[in-house]
A = this chain, B = another copy of it.
Amino acid sequence: MKVDILRLGHRMRRDKRTTTHVGLAARALGANSMIFSGDDDPRVKRSIEDVVTNWGGDFRIEYREDWQKSISSYPGLKVHLTMYGLPVRVVIDEIRDRARAQGILVIVGGEKVPGKVYSMVEYNVSVTNQPHSEISSLAVFLDRLLEGRELEARFEGAERTIKPSAHGKELVTGNRDSS
C-alpha cells in the first residue's frame, strides 16, 4: 500500500523536533514519504535523510509551500487525523480497502489547522477524541491501517541494523545487502 504523509504548518522556531518525530515515525511505521508545509526547514530534511542513509529504505521527505495543492492534486484517498473526527476503529476497515486500491495521503496538523482541510479530505479520523499528539495519532493510525505488517518491514541498504535483544544493545554496522 502506498502511504504518504502531509505535515501541515511547520514552524521553524518551535516544531523542529515534533516534525522530525512525525517523519521518523512515518518511516518506521510503513509510510513511503512525508511532505511538510509551513516554514521550509533544511534541518528537518537533513535529520530524516541521515536516518535513511544509516538505517536504509527509500523514505522520501520533501518541503512544499502549497499545502492546498498537495492535498487537491493527490491521486489517492485523503485522510486527516484530528481529535474531532470519526473514531479510527469505526472507519479503518473502509479506509484500508479504499487505500489499497488508490494509495493514501495521511494529513496531520500542527498547532492550527485551517478549517478548509476538514472538507478537502474524504475522512476526518480521530485516535480518541482527546488532545494528544500528531505523533501518537499517526503511530496508532498507521499500525491499524497496516495491521502490524509494518512492524516486520525490512529496510534495504541499511548501514546499521539492530539484533533485537532482551537486555542489551546489539548494533550491527556495515551494509548487509552488499556482504
Contact = CB atoms under 8 A, between A and B. Distances in A.
Interface of A: 14, 17-18, 21, 24-25, 27-29, 51, 55, 83-89, 115, 118-119, 123-124, 126-133, 135-140, 143-144, 148, 150-151, 153, 155, 161-162, 164-171
Given A87-B164, A143-B143, 15 more contacts: A17-B17, A18-B18, A18-B21, A21-B133, A55-B130, A84-B171, A86-B164, A86-B165, A89-B151, A126-B162, A128-B150, A129-B164, A136-B138, A139-B139, A143-B144
A34 to B, nearest CB: 12
A135 to B, nearest CB: 4
Nearest to A143: B140
Nearest to A113: B169
A112 to B, nearest CB: 12
A44 to B, nearest CB: 13
Contact of A165 (B28, B84, B170): B84
Contacts of A167: 118-119, 124
Nearest to A144: B143
A136 B138 CA distance: 8
A28 B137 CA distance: 10
